Amino acid sequence: MSSSPPVSSAAAAGLNLAQQEAVNYLHGPCLVLAGAGSGKTRVITHKIGRLIQTGLKPEQIAAITFTNKAAAEMRERAKSLIGKQARGVLICTFHALGVRMLRQDGAALGLKPQFSILDSDDVTSILKDAGGSTDAATVRNWQWTISRWKGMGLNAAQAEGQVNGDEERVIARIMAQYEERLSAYQSVDFDDLIGLPLKLLQEHEAVRSKWQAALGHVLVDEYQDTNATQYEVLKLLVGERGRFTAVGDDDQSIYGWRGATLDNLKKLPQDFPKLKVVKLEQNYRSTSAILRAANNVIGPNPKLYPKTLFSELGEGEPVRVLDCDSEEHEAERVVARIQSLRAEGSLLAEGGQYREWKDFCVLYRANHMAKPFEKAFRKANIPYKVSGGQSFFDRAEIKDLCSWMVLLVNNDNNPAFIRSIKTPKRGIGHTTLGALSLFADTYKLSLFESLFSNSLNSVLPAKAVGSLHEFGRYLNELEQRAKKTVGAEEARVFLADWLKEIDYEKHLYAGEESEKVAAARWSNVMDFCDWMAQRCGGQIADASGAVVEKETKTMLEVVQTIALLSTISEREGEQNVVTLSTLHASKGLEWPHVVLAGCNEGLLPFKLEDDDGANSDSIALRLQEERRLMYVGITRAQRTLAVNWLRRRKKGRDMIPGVPSRFIAEMALDKTTIKEDPREKIKALRAEFAKKSADSLAAAAAFKHR
């Protein structure tokens, strides 16, 4: 089989010359600099197909992304391109790859295959215990610092060796206790899903050789978002052969605050001298007017690999800059803009609406900026969603129930054990749990295994042991009942009985000062139970109310998937609503009509002057990242873009004079675009529509009397 594919095959797939070059370079390290909207996912999926076509088995290919959503999209795109073979390709996040490596080879580090993965709340709880603090802000600071150190590849001992001041020294010592507890609990946190695989590859040659032999080519999406640890994992996975494709854009690196570093782009040509660099500069998303503003904004940033986006979609509408009196006035103008564009769409479509609510998006720098828009949208009856809001499964009451479910299928999950035994409270306090934990550590047992040890009476009073035994017996009984519960109706009975037995509704109302809040939380519990029951199958009602038959599962079979679930709305289709989103959450997405809100100094760029301890170099780096954030916002827009700034804005409880963001000037727009009043545009459109209607009626009347 030919090692070099015919260019015509890639051309026939609709790839441009640069995309073809990226797809066809197969036998060495390749960096694809993919500008915004330049078709990077298309290149990755076509390259997967090309690798298989030239003889590589699907299971020898790994494509690594940063979010589950991106992985799911790539999986679907690969499936539509290469069919069933796509199933064999490992398409996952860095963290999911880490889980796979640790499940297979974690024994080399002392991990059991059924180790538990802690979420943020679990980590907070352990750190509170390890550091002896209940102050949430303090513990969050510890958590962020420890996460940052782990992202840099440091353990507690290494961190203590390079701390900056007494506060960090204390955190390093808390980190050491935290590491001990994770080991005792047979648990890992999200940072460990990168750090421990790195340790595996660095310290165990047999494991490293196994993974290098298993992976014939590794593709990494959003490469600019990798941190130092992820880069080292990639290097060790691909070895000296360097068969990988890194796809990214230095102009869209906006996650420096969580450890992502552009140094990884600088290191590639140093560590892989034969690196092939391909630039994708043709944008398939935005008009020329929008791209010109984007290119102008990003221009002042220093370039690792200079590139200029271009489009063949035409000049399009000019970018509009709107000055607003206040946050409330800005929200009113955005409502007017959306209404005018929809009215204009109706006219252009000869009465048929083709601009839907979902075509519009409002982007802003910080979450708190959504509030005025929510109020204005509600007043105008505009449907909307706030992107990046709290996930259903992140709610405390749902995490409580999930911990019980997880414990049914993995009795050795210590964090789930601790949350379940404490929620609702059952007279088993911190002293008892502390002694049980120490006992479990001493005898290398899980907390659940320790419950039934004959030696437990030697460290705990009989009453405490009796309470622990009661909990253990109830959990075993619940597991047996879950095995025999089949179908939706039986599942509903099982769940209702369980909640009554543990008195969870009473627990919710006792823990909330407001009955309204407690009732809302109980409503979430009911939604969760209904959703779980639906998954058990049998005769259930679909969205229209019709009864359908689905394959039945036992309650325990459904529970076994609970740890993999992240949203209750998986059965919901795409919503036809306006999106409100932070700029960070918008990366990778696009909308026909975008508004960038609150583009003021102090918001975007964000408070550069407030960091007293920062030197000029660090301020310059932060400004460069803020400029990239503006660039990301501009390049989300397909057809129209409006950029707003405030003449007066809130700072705390005060109103202060607003200064337009320096990025507006950097966009170098035609000055005639600076002033626009969408309310006047609506009036003009209504007048035009009325004239068209009158003309139509007159024509109809004239025809009737002919």
Q: What is the mean pLDDT of the chain?
A: 83
Catalytic pick among 226, 252, 624, 638: 252
Q: Give the span between the Cα atoms of 290 and 346, in whole angstroms.
A: 24
Active site residue 221: yes
Confidence label for 221 from pLDDT (cuts 50, 70 and 90): very high
Supply angle C-alpha 276, 88, 558, rounded to 5: 130
SS3 for 403? Answer: helix
| pLDDT tens sequence across 472-499 | 899 899 989 988 888 888 989 999 999 9
Among 285, 342, 636, 639, the active-site one is 636
Q: Per the residue annotation, which of 122, 129, 160, 221 is the catalytic one?
A: 221
**CA pair distance 399, 659, nearest whole angstrom:** 44
* Residue range 81-113, pLDDT digits in tens: 888 888 889 998 888 899 899 989 988 988 877
Res. 359 pLDDT band, cuts 50 70 90: very high
* CA 411 vs CA 114, 394, 414, 470, 505: distances in Å: 10, 22, 8, 15, 25
Which CATH architecture fits 393-432+473-565? Orthogonal Bundle (1.10)
Quickly list DSSP for 303-316. -SS----EESS---
Contact 328, 651 (CB under 8 A): no
Domains 7-106+194-280 and 393-432+473-565 share a fold: no
Active site residue 612: no
How distant, in Å, are the alpha carbons of 71, 246, 339 from that of 62?
11, 12, 46
The percent of residues in the chain predicted with pLDDT above 70, rounded, is 85
**In the predicted structure, residue 587 carries a pLDDT above the cut 90:** no
Q: For position 705, what pLDDT does the model report?
A: 55
Q: What are the φ and ψ backbone dihedral angles of 592, each rounded to 5 degrees?
A: -60, -40
Stronger pLDDT, 245 or 350, i.e. the higher one:
245
Compare 181 and 694 and report the one with higher pLDDT.
Answer: 181
Residues 643-651, mean pLDDT to the nearest whole number: 88
Q: Has residue 548 got a pLDDT over 70?
A: no
Residues 37/590, Cβ–Cβ less than 8 Å: yes
Give the C-alpha separation, 428 to 468, whole Å: 8
* Catalytic entry in 105, 189, 191, 222: 222
The CATH architecture annotation of domain 7-106+194-280 reads: 3-Layer(aba) Sandwich (3.40)
The ranges assigned to domains in the chain are 7-106+194-280, 116-185, 310-390+575-685, 393-432+473-565
Q: Which of 19, 21, 40, 122 is catalytic?
A: 40
pLDDT tens digits for range 48-89: 999 999 889 999 999 998 888 888 888 888 888 888 888 889
Distance CA 136, CA 52 (A): 51
DSSP structure class, residue 649: E
Residue 657 vs residue 379, higher pLDDT: 657
Tell me which of 123-137, 276-290, 307-321, 667-681 is least confident.
667-681
Per-residue confidence at 2, pLDDT binned at 50, 70, 90? very low
SS3 226: coil
Q: Inform me whether the pLDDT recorded for 345 exceeds 80.
A: no
**Active-site residue, 222 included:** yes
C-alpha distances in Å from residue 587, one per residue of 39, 70, 225, 230, 636: 14, 11, 11, 20, 8
Query: What residues pair up with 654 in beta bridges, in sequence order?
Result: 651
Q: Please confirm, yes or no, whether 42 is among the known catalytic residues.
A: no
Residue 5 confidence class, pLDDT cut points 50, 70, 90: very low
What are the C-alpha distances in Å from 682 to residues 321, 337, 365, 421, 692? 17, 8, 28, 60, 15
User: Which tens digit of pLDDT belongs to each residue from 370-407?
Assistant: 888 988 888 888 888 888 655 566 678 888 888 888 88
For residues 584 and 254, the answer to whether their CB atoms sit within 8 Å is yes
Closest by CA to 630, choosing from 576, 589, 586, 574, is: 586
Buried b (16+ CB within 10 A) or exposed e, 688-699: eeeeeeeeeeee
| Residue 620: count of CB within 10 angstroms of its CB | 12
Out of 41, 45, 579, 640, the active site residue is: 41
Give the pLDDT score at 700: 52
pTM of the complete model: 0.70
Report the C-alpha gap between 575 and 383 in whole angstroms: 9
- Domain 310-390+575-685 CATH class label: alpha beta
User: Which of 18-22, 307-311, 584-588, 608-612 comes out lowest in average pLDDT?
Assistant: 608-612
Place of tokens 């390049």: 635
Please report which confidence band the pLDDT of residue 616 belongs to, taking 50, 70 and 90 as the band edges: confident
The larger pLDDT score, comparing residue 415 to residue 49, is at: 49
Please name the fold of domain 116-185: Arc Repressor Mutant, subunit A (1.10.10)
> What is the average pLDDT across 205-211?
93
Question: Average pLDDT, stretch 601-609?
Answer: 81
Cβ neighbourhood burial of 368 (10 Å; 0-12, 13-18, 19+):
exposed
3-state helix, strand, coil in the chain (%, to 5): 60, 15, 30
Active site residue 686: no
